[in-house]
């Protein structure tokens, strides 16, 4: 049985993963596929739609629309995958099956397991962050497919004097566990993945510039997820809709193993997602 280490920065309840059951059905690519230091504008600073931008309008039944700017330069595979799924009508009728207040709202899962979508790796960039309203992919051991989440935490995040000592402890702890197993074992793979998870987080904290820190303070978000999930969009309108979704009554969620209280008591249905070009 795989042991669990109590994380100093993250815990099981605040990690994003694919729901229990199927994810992608086809062969996967490498877990991380881009250089995080590549020079892009990203979602730092004031985000607005400009001529030529791709954006998505997500229509939620009985709630309204959420308008999201997309970033193909930051996450080319992830953005194109989302565009293709939206244009095919895949997301029509899907739900937000997991809502955690002050964290995120997750949706887009195919509970029939009939959708054949090739898994692809994480795409990260130091200028793409988990600010309030960020659109991101949920993943399983670094593999993305169809499920996404929108960050709903509006609480100010202060990283001016953040110490990475606890992250270092987590890295060392997972590496120590990994050494107890053969390198081709499931346990070794799992523990080294977790060690790299915290190593990625440490790198993103180290590369958090003043503008990033200032925005986390101003608008909130979940900086503890930076470096390990593909951020490929940023909400520009419909924050009130996101807030309403995030405030719904939730019950025990079988899709997350039954222990997490995150399933909306009343189903939240995505009517459609339209992809548009801003003119």
In the CATH hierarchy, which top-level class contains the domain 53-156+220-278?
mainly beta
Length of the chain, please? 279
In angstroms, the CA 102 to CA 95 distance is 19
Task: Quote the CA–CA distance of 166 and 198 in Å, as a whole number.
Answer: 10
For 232-269, write each residue's pLDDT tens digit.
Answer: 999 999 999 999 999 999 999 998 888 899 999 999 99
Q: Which of 176-190, 218-232, 245-259 has the lowest mean pLDDT?
A: 245-259
Query: Are residues 125 and 74 in contact, defined by beta-carbon separation less than 8 angstroms?
Result: yes
Question: Residue 104 belongs to what H/E stretch?
Answer: strand 104-107
- Which residue has tokens 């025990």? 252
pLDDT tens digits along 48-72: 999 999 999 999 999 999 999 999 9
Q: What is the pLDDT of residue 260?
A: 93
- For residue 33, the model assigns a pLDDT of 57
pLDDT at 274 over 80: yes
pLDDT for residue 161 = 86
SS3 129: coil
Say if residue 53 is exposed, middle or buried (CB neighbours under 10 Å; 0-12, 13-18, 19+). middle
At 12-40, the pLDDT tens digits run 335 566 555 565 544 444 455 568 988 89
**Cα separation of 89 and 110, whole Å?**
12
Percentage of the chain exceeding pLDDT 70? 88
Residue 257, pLDDT score: 82
Cβ atoms within 10 Å of 255's Cβ, excluding its own: 17
Average pLDDT over the chain, rounded to an integer: 89
Number of H helices, E strands in the chain: 5, 11
């Amino acid at each position: 049985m795989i042991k669990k280490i109590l994380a100093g920065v993250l815990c099981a309840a605040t990690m994003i993963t694919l729901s229990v059951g199927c994810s992608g059905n086809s062969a996967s690519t490498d877990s991380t596929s881009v250089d995080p230091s590549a020079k892009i504008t990203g979602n730092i600073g004031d985000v607005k739609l400009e001529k030529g931008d791709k954006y998505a309008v997500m229509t939620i039944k009985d709630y309204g629309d959420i308008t999201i700017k997309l970033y193909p330069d930051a996450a080319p595979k992830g953005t194109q995958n989302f565009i293709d799924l939206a244009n095919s009508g895949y997301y029509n009728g899907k739900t937000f099956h997991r809502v955690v207040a002050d964290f995120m709202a997750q949706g887009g899962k195919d509970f029939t397991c009939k959708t054949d979508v090739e898994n692809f790796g994480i795409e990260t960039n130091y200028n793409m962050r988990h600010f309030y309203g960020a659109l991101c992919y949920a993943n399983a051991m670094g593999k993305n497919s169809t499920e996404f989440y929108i960050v709903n935490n509006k609480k100010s995040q202060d990283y001016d004097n953040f110490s990475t000592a606890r992250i270092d402890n987590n890295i060392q702890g997972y590496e120590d566990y990994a050494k107890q197993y053969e390198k081709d074992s499931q346990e070794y793979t799992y523990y080294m993945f977790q060690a790299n998870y915290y190593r990625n987080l440490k790198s993103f904290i180290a590369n958090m510039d003043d503008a990033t820190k200032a925005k986390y303070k101003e608008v909130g978000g979940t900086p503890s997820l930076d470096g390990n999930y593909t951020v490929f969009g940023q909400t520009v309108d419909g924050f009130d809709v996101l807030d309403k979704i995030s405030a719904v009554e939730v019950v025990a969620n079988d899709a997350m193993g039954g222990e997490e209280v995150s399933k909306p008591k009343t189903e939240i249905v995505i009517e459609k997602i339209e992809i548009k070009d801003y003119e």
